[in-house]
Amino acid sequence: MRLITLALAALLLLIQYPLWLGKGGWLAIADMRSRVEAARQKTVELKARNAKLESEVRDLKDGTEAVEERARYELGMIKQNEIFVQVLSKDERSAASVTPPPPPPPKESKKKTQ
């Protein structure tokens, strides 16, 4: 009777092995599900990024506002007849007051030519 019990227990373990650790086992399926979920998340992030880039490209092609905005913020450009106002925070003000102003440009001397 003991031999039959041991044989049945060994067969039960042999049957359980592929179920848990085999190619199509529960652990492999759980790992595959986590990979699929990570891939879905990455796809959602990439779709959002692509939509943002597509809208920016469309705006750059069709409108002038995006070009103007980039020129202002990235290149520091202003329009003609426009007044530029810069507001400094307290930290920037104290740093600006400590820094001496740049020396004036040298004056050109006017020589009389004969």
Domain ranges of the chain: 19-97
At 32-71, the pLDDT tens digits run 999 999 999 999 999 999 999 998 888 878 877 777 888 8
Given this model, what pLDDT does residue 111 score? Answer: 55
For the chain, the 3-state helix, strand and coil shares in percent, each to the nearest 5, are: 70, 0, 30
Mean pLDDT of 72-91: 82
Q: Look up residue 92 and give its two tokens.
A: 């920037």
pLDDT higher than threshold 80 for residue 100: no
Q: What is the pTM of this model?
A: 0.44
